[in-house]
Amino acid sequence: GQQVMQIPQYQHVQEGEDFTTYCNSSTTLSNIQWYKQRPGGHPVFLIQLVKSGEVKKQKRLTFQFGEAKKNSSLHITATQTTDVGTYFCAGPLTGGGNKLTFGTGTQLKVEL
Amino acid sequence: NAGVTQTPKFQVLKTGQSMTLQCAQDMNHNSMYWYRQDPGMGLRLIYYSASEGTTDKGEVPNGYNVSRLNKREFSLRLESAAPSQTSVYFCASYGAGGQPQHFGDGTRLSIL
C-alpha cells in the first residue's frame, strides 16, 4: 500500500543549529502538505507544495518538493526553542475523499 | 471561531466498556476524519466521511464504528474497548481543494 516515510525519527539540536527532515513516498504525489504538532497539541498546517521542484520559504523554514514528486524536505535555519515539536508530511491517499496519508513524523528537540 | 471541537479531552475505560467520542466543526466543511496517533507511528486514518450521509473505512477501522450525524458532527464509537485502542484520537475536517485539514485538540484515551 501507499507509504510515506520520514527520517530521522528524532533530532536533538542545540539552539542556533540547522535542522532538516526528509519525507519519502512510495508513490508519486499530486501535492504534499507539512504539519507541525507541538508537544501535547494537535497538528497544525504549515504549507502545501504542488509543483515539481517547488521551493517555498516561511521565515526560517524552507520547504522543497522533489522533481519526481515522491520526496520532500523541510529545513529550519538557526533553530529556536519555539521550533520544538513533531513535523509531519502528508500526501493525498488514493481513492478520493480528500484523504491524507501522514508520514511517521520527525520529533525535534532544541536545547539552549 | 471554535473550529473543530472534540469531547471528551481525556477518558479512562476498562476493557470491554463502550464509548463514543464526539466531534463537531463549525466551518461548514463537507469532509470529516478520525485519526489515531500512537508513538512513532504518526497519524493513521480510522474512518472518514466525504460528505453528510456517507462514511468509509480508512487504514485501521477494525474495532470502531462511526456516525455522520449531520454536516457538523462526526462521532467515533468503540463498542468493546481493548487495551490496543489506547491512543490519542484526533478529529479533522476539510473544506475544499487547496485547503488544509483542521484538527481538533484530541481525546486522550486509556484502556486498562
**What grid cell was written down for A48?**
502545501
Phi then psi dihedrals of residue B85, to 5 deg = -95, 5
Chain B contact for A8 (CB, 8 A cutoff): no
Residues in chain A with pLDDT values less than 70: 96-97
pLDDT score at B1: 62
Cα gap B57→B23, rounded to integer Å:
17
* Confidence tier at B57 by pLDDT (50, 70, 90): very high
Interface touch B101/A42, C-beta < 8 Å: no
* Confidence tier at B46 by pLDDT (50, 70, 90): very high
> Which of B41, B58, B102 is opposite residue A99, by nearest beta carbon?
B58
Closest CA to B21 of B84, B59, B63, B50: B63
User: What average pLDDT does range B21-31 have in this prediction?
Assistant: 96
- Residues in chain B closer than 8 A to A41 (CB atoms): 105
Chain B contact for A96 (CB, 8 A cutoff): yes
pLDDT score at A36: 98
| pLDDT(B44) > 70 | yes
Interface touch A97/B98, C-beta < 8 Å: no
For residue B19, CA distances in Å to B7, B38, B105 come to: 11, 19, 18
Query: Which of B35, B37, B43, B45 should one mutate to test binding to chain A, selecting the residue with the greatest count of A CBs within 10 A?
Result: B43
Rounded to a whole number, what is the distance in Å from the CA of A112 to chain B's nearest CA? 25
Query: Which of B91, B99, B103 should one mutate to test binding to chain A, selecting the residue with the greatest count of A CBs within 10 A?
Result: B103
